[in-house]
Structure formats: C-alpha cells, structure tokens
Amino acid sequence: MATNCHCQHHFRPVGDQSGLLAVHPAEPLTLASATCIPSALSTAMSGKLRHPRRVRSEETMPAATNVGATTPEIRINGRELDELSLGMLSVIKIESCLRMSARALIRFSDPGYLISTPGTFAINNSVVVSTLGVVLFSGSVTGVELEHHQGSVDFIVTADDKASALALGSKVRTFTNVTISDVVKTMLAGYGMKTKIEPTGVVYPYLIQSGSDLDFINELCDRVGFDWWVEDGTFVFAAPINLHTPVKVDNSDELFQFTVKTTALHPGQTTVTGWWSGKKQAVTGQADLAKATLKPDANFVKPFVEPAHLSALNKLTHAGSVPLDAVEAGGLARAMAQRWVSQAVTAKGVCFGKSAIKAGCVLAIANAGPASGSYYVTQVEHTYSRKGFQTKFTAGDRRSTSIVDTLNGPGRGAARGAMVVGVVTALANGTDEQPAGNVKVKYPSIGDGVESNWARVVSIGGGNGRGFTFLPEVNDEVMVAFESGDMRRPIVLGGLFNTTDQPGDFGVNDGAVDRRRITSRLGHSLEFSDDADTKAQHIALALAGGKHTVKLGKEALLAEVPAGVPITVKSGDTVVEISKAGDITLSGSTITLKASKDIELSGANVTIKANVKLAASAAIVEVKASAKADLSAGGIVAVKGAMVQIN
C-alpha cells in the first residue's frame, strides 16, 4: 500500500499493497503468482508444522532478521490469535508517523472464507502486535476488506490506534488563560490514552478551536514547534528533541538500502512579524536555521543545511501566523526554522527489523561515508512477511514541503479566515484585562456557547483622542472578521440590521437616498436631508420623540422645545435665558439694540430703569399718556428749552 505520511491515512482504502515491502536494488519485489509460505514461518508462529497455503506472492526480499527470533505476537481482545488464523497470516505492516495516528494492516490468505466471516476481527476489537516483548502497535479494528485476485482470496484487516479518533468530527470551543500543554491535556481527556505532555510555559489569554482535534493539535504543534506521536499506547506531546537513546544502525551489515537527499533551496533565517495591539507596536521573532535543534550532522549535508554563502540572500519573512506578542513571535520563528531544516534533508532507509526505531527517535547511522551521522525519524514502517522482519524509516519533514504551504501558515478549521456573524455579549470595562472600547461576541452560526476573545471595533477616524465612538449594544448582531485569519484576533466591522432590528426609516424615496440619519439607542438622532426640494433640505438634531429639535434649513433655522422647558444661551457672564414660565432675560455688560427702521417695546407694563443715568435723545422726543402722566423727582426737576410750553 503506497503511503503518504503527510495525508490523513484514516480515509485511504485498505488492501492496496503496492510498495508493501522494502525493496533492495538488486532484488526487485514482485507480487504475482501463488506459492506456499515456508514451513519455518508457520512453525515459528504456531510451534508446529502446518499444511502449505496459497498466498499472492512471488515475494523476493533481501535476507532479513531470523524469522523465529522476530515473529510477532498478535493479540485480539487480549487473547493470542488462534492457530488457524496464524496459519493463514501472510503479511503484517505497521506504519507510524509524527503527527499522525499509527495503523496496522494484517493480510491473511483465506480461500475458504474461514476467518473473513465476522467474529474475531469485529469492529472495535482490540489489536496488539508485539515482538520480543516490545509493543509495536496497539489499537482496534476499524476496517476489513475481502480481495479476490486470480483465484486467491485475501482478507485484510485494518486497525488504527486510539489517536485516529482525533480526526473524527469537529468542535468549536474556547480556552482562556491556559498553556498549550493544558489545552492538549483537556483535549485528550476523553480518548482513553495515557499521556506524556511536555509543559509549554507561556499562558495564552485566549485560544479557539474550530475543526477536528487532530487539526487543532497539529496547529498547536506548529505554534510552539512541538511534535506528537503514540508510543506504547501513550500519547507523547513534546519538543523535537531526542527523548530516547540514539538508535545505532550500521550501514555495512544492517542496512539494505540508505538514501540521503539534501538541498540548499531554503532560507537561512526565518522572521515572523505581527502586530501587538496592546502595545500598539510591531512584534518580530527571528531564528537562524544554523541554530535549529536536531539538524542532521552528517558532513554530506552540513554545507546545504547551513549555506553561509546564501545566508544574506535567503531570508524568509512570514506575516501569516499572527503572533500575539514578542515571545510567541520568537517561538513561531524557531518552529518555522526547524520545519525548514527538516525539509532540507530527507533520509530514507531499509534495515533488518528493529523495533527500537520509532517516530520521534534519532538514528545514528554508521559506516555510510560522509552520510554517517544523526537523523531525526519522522516515519517508520515495520513489515513482517514470509522472509521475516524489515523496518523502513524516513527522516525528513512531517508535513507538506512546498513554499506555498509554508507561507499559508498552519491548517485551519471550519470558519477560519472567514467573516462570521456574531452577537454582542459583553462590553469591556476599561481595565487591562478588558480594554476600553472592546466587546465580546458569540458565534451562533459556528456553535452554541462559543464566545470570542475581546474584540476591537472598527471606528471611523479612530485615533488618539479622536474618532467615532459608536459601540454596539449587548445582543446587537455584528459582522466579525479575524486579523490574518486568526480567530484569537476578532475585529467587529459593524452592526447589521435584520428583520427584527430595523432603523424605522432607511430614507429611500423613488430609488434614491433622501435622508441619512445617526440614531442612538434611545432614539436621539442627527439627520441629513438631501431632498431634491431645497425647502426640505436640512440638518436636524432631535431628541427622542421629536419635540426637542434644532433644524437648520436653507430657508429657516428652527429651534423648538415643549412649553415649560427653559432655554439658556450663555457666553461667559453674558446670558440669554428663557425661563420655565416663559420669561426672557438678557444680561451682559452692554446690551445694544439697533434697527434700521423701528423698535417697538410693548406690554401691559413697561419699566425702564437705570441705576445711574437714563438718557433719551432724538430730533423729536414725544412722551404721551392717554390717561395720566406723572413727572417727579426726589430732588430738583429742571425743564429747559428755547421755549417751554405748559398746557
């Protein structure tokens, strides 16, 4: 079965056994005719000789480990596989890869359909494969296949370890004030696996998962530069360092085939950039590939892994990972540098069966000339067949290797990078934990109860001490985008009207927008009228209810309030005031009334009073009373004129 470790093999068809066994260049492998399994393997598996059986094979392979010493033990639901099934066993293939679940393929020749009938290999039956006390695989039956080919019948069992369940289904949930290792522990709690999780240290105020657990754990691996694998039924989440004693393999007498490929087409330095909104500054993290951990140290590859002559030209700047601060930017840069180191060197080999070779271990290759050195294993295939036990390994990248994949950043789950509709759930109180002007929203279209981190709100003209401060209200529907597609960095773009929440009047008339209005929660408004009729054009300021208005039009300025509402216009000590009773008071240092024609003062009683002097002058002065007139003074009354006429 051709295997690509970078693909999710949970969904590949079983039974395609092309490339099943490691191939020695001098002895090509063919699977064509029917033959008999050597009695040695049958005897080793069951302890006694069995009748020959037909298998699809003309299986030629290099001399491998002694069969009797390496025959695997297979247990189904805790019991050893029965002799009948062992007698029909053709091939066992176990494959494991960093950041992927392990899989076992067990092939039987079953011409009489004796074991393909449901029973022993029923779905979810546990399967454990071990050799010499070392567990190579522990999982359960997830699929079966019956294959007919030129008169032979093969029954193939597919078993996956417990980590395969990580790829099933998807979840949307949030984590607050946690480390990444805390999140991984929480995610794995329901899968029934033992765990060995290396602490990550940095506390994240907010993380959101939107997709399968497998996608999210792999994304977290990218963020901190970790790997994961399942070892002896234990889920290991750790940095790519040698957690085991290096496994020694001698090219002169253990390796059938060993190939090393390297390239200098990679950056010498990685830089991750982002924006730290809390500090209003850019953040940058850098890492040199020369300082990356677990670099292959063979002399053959060193000049290509550390190309000093290209270092000034091959720097990669990446702005797609959205670090929250400088610490995270540095971690992302180091993880990216490690990924490029893995891509720069690919080593593949086939050797005598070695159960100690596992994904995540380091191989120490000896007697391979300049290719001798240490290599970090990312994929392993253990194969048992009639010739014995072989191990195929790959040291290289554990994911896609193209530049496009790298620049696209980590894989994203559902809704990642898209705009989504949200409903406001909270307004920030202006503390460090709740920055002023921020809101929280829930995402009803993604999942019930999923709430965002504190989100900034787009503001017209927003800046230091300026801009519109129109925050949405709790329960308002809003449109939310995510900075660089990172759901930890939501931004509210604006509010949305719907069939329930309406503005009342959109100001549309005959296909044109006549009015534009800003309206507050209580109904206070500022309206701009662009009516075709100039008499209707205005700017109007009104309180809720429309009884308190100031309207500036081309033909009139109208300020109106209900009766009993006082009006005061004040400039320093100068005041124009209309009282609740309707009294008008003008007060100021000097008040001047001028008219190009007439000034008329009228009332039931008119009183003119001056504290010092009252002067009235005109070409003609007339004081007239229709009934009675009094002229009096507390002192002297003087009446002067060229001629004085009394009566």
What are the tens digits of pLDDT across the range 451-470?
888 999 999 898 888 988 88
Confidence of residue 285 (pLDDT cuts 50, 70, 90): confident
Cα–Cα dist 13/178, whole Å: 39
pLDDT band at 289 (very low <50, low <70, confident <90, very high): confident
More confident residue, 277 or 610: 610
What pLDDT does 228 receive? 93
Q: What is the pLDDT of residues 374-400, one digit of tens each?
A: 999 999 999 998 888 999 999 987 654
- Determine the pLDDT at residue 408: 38
Distance (Å, whole) CA 55 – CA 74: 20
Flag whether pLDDT at 8 surpasses 50: no
Residue in this structure with the two tokens 């279209």, named with its chain if needed: 445
The pairing of beta strand 247-250 with beta strand 362-366? parallel
Give the range with max mean pLDDT: 327-341, 503-517, 551-565, 609-623: 551-565
Name every residue whose Cβ is closer than 8 Å to that of residue 383 and which is 6 or more positions away in sequence. 20, 21, 22, 91, 92, 93, 94, 389, 390, 391, 392
Between 606 and 580, the more confident residue is 580
CA distances from 223 to 88, 134, 217, 402, 483 (A): 47, 33, 10, 19, 16
Report whether pLDDT(349) > 80. Answer: yes
CA distance 224 to 272: 13
Burial per residue of 201-217, b for 16 or more beta-carbon CB atoms within 10 angstroms, e otherwise: eeebebbbbbbbbbbbb
The DSSP symbol for 246 reads P
Report d(CA 77, CA 300) in Å as an integer: 48
- The contacts of residue 71 (CB under 8 Å, 6+ apart) are 41, 44, 45, 131, 384
**Following DSSP, what letter does each residue of 157-176 receive, concatenated?**
EEEE-GGGGGGSS-EEEEE-
- Mind spelling out the 3-state secondary structure of 129-161? EEECCEEEEEEEEEEEEEEEECCEEEEEEEEEC
Q: Is the pLDDT of residue 120 over 70?
A: yes
Is 478 within 8 Å of 495 (Cβ atoms)? yes
Kindly report the number of other CB atoms within 10 A of residue 563's CB atom: 7
Closest alpha carbon to 210 in 6, 423, 10, 418: 418
Q: Where are the alpha helices (DSSP H) in 8-147?
A: 39-46, 67-70, 83-88
Percent of the chain residues past pLDDT 90, beyond the cut: 36
Q: How far apart are CA 150 and CA 242, in angstroms?
A: 48
Predicted structure pTM score? 0.64
Specify the higher pLDDT residue, 345 or 278: 345
DSSP state of 69: H
Res. 222 pLDDT band, cuts 50 70 90: confident
Residue 206 makes CB contacts below 8 A (sequence gap 6+) with 174, 175, 176, 453, 454, 488
- The single residue listed with the structure tokens 């100690």 is 356
Task: Report the C-alpha gap between 206 and 330 in whole angstroms.
Answer: 19
- The pLDDT tens digits for 35-61 are 333 333 333 333 332 333 333 333 344
> Rounded mean pLDDT of the chain?
80
Q: Tens digits of per-residue pLDDT, 133-166?
A: 889 999 999 999 999 988 899 999 999 999 999 9
Q: What are the structure tokens assigned to 542, written together?
A: 């009104």
Contact 364, 324 (CB under 8 A): no
Q: How far apart are CA 574 and CA 632, in angstroms?
A: 34
Containing 326, the helix (H) or strand (E) segment is: helix 326-344
Confidence class for position 318, pLDDT limits 50, 70, 90: low
Q: Are 348 and 339 in contact (CB under 8 A)?
A: no
Question: Length of the chain, please?
Answer: 647
Longest dimension (CA), the chain: 162
100-109 and 54-58 strand pairing: unpaired
pLDDT-derived band at 350 (thresholds 50, 70, 90) equals: very high
Lowest mean pLDDT among 463-467, 592-596, 607-611: 607-611
507: left (phi over 0), alpha (psi -120 to 50) or beta: left
Give the pLDDT mean for 272-290: 73
- How far apart are the C-alpha atoms of 588 and 577, rounded to whole Å? 12
Which DSSP string do the residues of 438-458 spell out, in sequence order? -EEEE-TTT-TT-B---BEE-
- 56-83 pLDDT, tens per residue? 333 344 444 443 445 789 999 999 998 8
The Cα–Cα gap between 406 and 395 comes to 19
Task: Determine the straight-line distance between the first and last CA of the chain, rounded to whole angstroms.
Answer: 136
Paired tokens of 337: 């540098």
Q: Each residue of 258-280: b (16+ CB within 10 Å) or e?
A: bebebeeebbbbbbbbbbeeeee
Q: H helices then E strands: how many in the chain?
A: 8, 41
Spatial CA neighbour of 101 closest among 207, 218, 13? 218
The confidence score (pLDDT) of residue 548 equals 92
